[in-house]
Structure 1
Amino acid sequence: MSPAATAITVRDAVAADVPSMASIYDEQARTSVATFDTEPRGAAYLGEKVAGAAGSDIVLVAVDGDELLGYAFSGPFRPRPAYDGTKEVSVYLAEGARGRGIATQLYSALLGRLDALPDVHTQVAVIALPNDASVSLHRRHGFEQVGVLREVGHKFGRYVDTAWYQRLG
């Protein structure tokens, strides 16, 4: 079966998924501006997200059999009560899983769950630029660019802009 024809399952993350999730995230920390972490965080960071998942803080994984291909999550936008109806969302994929529509599957599931919650009104995403694939993914899911912060990150010896995207539920 070709990679594009493989059946992918999207489900809630469990503790056993954390090492694979951490491997994906840590690779991004080492090699890309998809995260502004400059050092790998290991399993503790994602373990906290998975353990704390409840209500509108959701962590989903995409798996093919026993192989974890990526994950998406929603979490607090800012730590103040007036922001409770706004969730920041993000998606990360293993290198070999990119370009196969898996991020679309993860976001469809995540945003569908958020849309079903009466207390979630807005989702935001931050995209380091340039990143045409991420911009396209977010636009396909109804996000609109609401601003660009110039040179707010510094990684790999250069300054990086971030685009802010928003989706109203």
Structure 2
Amino acid sequence: MIFIRKIKKLKEEHWCEVAIIYKDGIDTKKATFRARVPKWNDWNENHHTHSRFVAIDNDEIIGWCAIAPVSKREAYKGVAEVSVYVSLDSSDKGVGGELIKKLIKSSEENGIWTLYASLFPENIGSVKLYPKNEFRLIGVREKIAEQDCVWRDTVLYERRSKKL
């Protein structure tokens, strides 16, 4: 277990280090369908300005998390998709758990009533992380998209706020 000295709000100044962790996740083919890390402005515009954090240990960013709206429609304003990424060197050390707890608390403080995650079933760390944090499995999307000419499944998890 890593002792995280700080969890801070994710800001533009963190993007270079965040992007490295993001790229590592992309390269594993277990974290996202994305093929490349977006530019800061694109990423920033597509994520809530609240509920985005970096985990810092010994002045190094070792993980990050954020939420993105699932729709622009008013009825879905309290529904967000979760992203949690941890550096390869820090995986299986509790970093994801600390980040998601902070993200859940912040999301509830900001009126989010449902958090949603779409994961590759092969991403064992994430598949274990979400149920430990009160997310429930809601389904499997079989062969939802292709990645490198292979049809991939995703598993869906959601968490309803008990505070709203």
Unpaired runs of at least 5, structure 2: none
Unpaired runs of at least 5, structure 1: none
Matched, 1:29 2:26: yes
For these two proteins, the number of residue pairs brought into alignment is 161
Residues 55-77 of structure 1: per-residue CA shift (max 9 Å, x gap):
xxx21000013200010011201
Q: How does 1:6-155 map to 2 (within 5 A)?
A: 6-48=3-45, 53-54=49-50, 58-117=51-110, 119-155=111-147
TM-score (normalizing by structure 2): 0.88
TM-score (normalizing by structure 1): 0.85
1:86 touches 1:120 (CA, 8 Å); kept in 2? yes
3-state SS of the aligned residue for 2:99? helix
2:22 touches 2:85 (CA, 8 Å); kept in 1? yes
1:145 touches 1:164 (CA, 8 Å); kept in 2? yes
1:69 touches 1:94 (CA, 8 Å); kept in 2? yes
3-state SS of the aligned residue for 1:105? helix
Residue 16 (structure 1) shift: 1.4
Q: Could you list the runs of 4 or more consecutive aligned residues of structure 1 that deviate by over 6 angstroms after TM superposition?
A: none
- Counterpart of 1:160? 152
Whole-Å separation in 2 of the counterparts to 1:96 and 1:37: 21
Whole-Å separation in 1 of the counterparts to 2:128 and 2:27: 24
Percent identity reads 25
RMSD after superposition? 1.9
1:18 touches 1:46 (CA, 8 Å); kept in 2? no
3-state SS of the aligned residue for 2:117? strand
